[in-house]
Amino acid sequence: MSPSVTVSALLKSRPDAMGLPLEILGGQAGLERVITSPHIQKTGLALAGFHEYLKPGRILIFGESEIRYLESLDAAAREHALRLSLTIDFPCVMITGGFLPPPELLAESERARVPLLRTSVVTPTAIAKLSSILEDSLAERTMMHAVLMDVLGLGVLIAGESGIGKSECALDLIVRGHRLVADDTVEVRRRQESILIGTCPELTRYHMELRGLGVINIMELFGIASTRSSKRVELVVQLERWDPSREYERLGLDDVFDEILGLRVPLIRMPVAPGRNIAILVEVAARNQLLRNTGLNSARRLADRLDAQLSRREAHDLEFGEDI
């Protein structure tokens, strides 16, 4: 099922906090109508009668140009144009710039049960802010059993089976000055084409469960600088129980990825065994990934130097002979 959000949910999401104050003028019977696209519908097409280009599920915007155009029509033509416009399944109509709606628009919104919203923000800014809000609300998302940390500015998702020590590792990282985003349950949503944003459900935000200790509030214990509300997911560290019979990565030459919501994220499989300080290893993994993001791969550079040295030695042996 495609993501969607109702007009009622949009109003309750506090768009004023994003600089987009909204008020409802009419059509309250349609507040449960569904918005399915973050894109805004161009009103000019609707008023001009080009209905084949109109997309249902989009918010219809009326700015200064549309309001002035409607005012230039006589009452009968205005009512006819608005009635045709609202035959498409638009979730709501939004007036920008704080303009007063024509009486016919208010009456038609009530008749068609299409909410009529108004904002004081001018059209270009309103469209940008509304698109940003809807992109977030309509983003594809999933819930993951993991811990999300901000380590040196890199979003590190620590995954692994229950009881393997994810929360303890995160606590050690917090003591070392890094920041908690979410413990145990991470909500990951896909933004745009290549961005994954992780956050914590509101109910458990700032809290962490530690076996034998119980639930603690990280912000109260370590201060507000020890937490953040969201972070881009840029590295996955998969904690696994040490298996003596298994061959683990020794050089780090091969790039391994995990797939989340259709996007590939760099993956490191970290074996957990007594005596290994997992928090320090995760921090070093984050530092190494930051280097890789700049194009520096230490393992690859070392391998290249070794290859070059071996090539020189082989060339020397061929030129002078092995007996010399």
- Catalytic residue numbers? 145, 166, 184, 250
Under DSSP, is residue 147 helix (H, G, I), strand (E, B) or coil?
strand
The helix or strand, by DSSP H or E, that contains position 210, with its residue range, turns out to be strand 207-210
Rounded alpha-carbon distances, angstroms, from residue 92 to 55, 56, 61, 151, 301: 13, 10, 9, 42, 57
Q: Supply 95's token pair.
A: 């007036």
Residue type, 49: G
Residue among 167, 206, 164 at smallest CA distance from 184: 167
Q: At what angle do helices 166-175 and 278-293 cross, to 10 degrees?
A: 70
Nearest C-alpha neighbor of 222 from the set 186, 183, 182, 177: 177
CA pair distance 108, 254, nearest whole angstrom: 62
Q: Which residues pair with 216 in a beta bridge?
A: 208
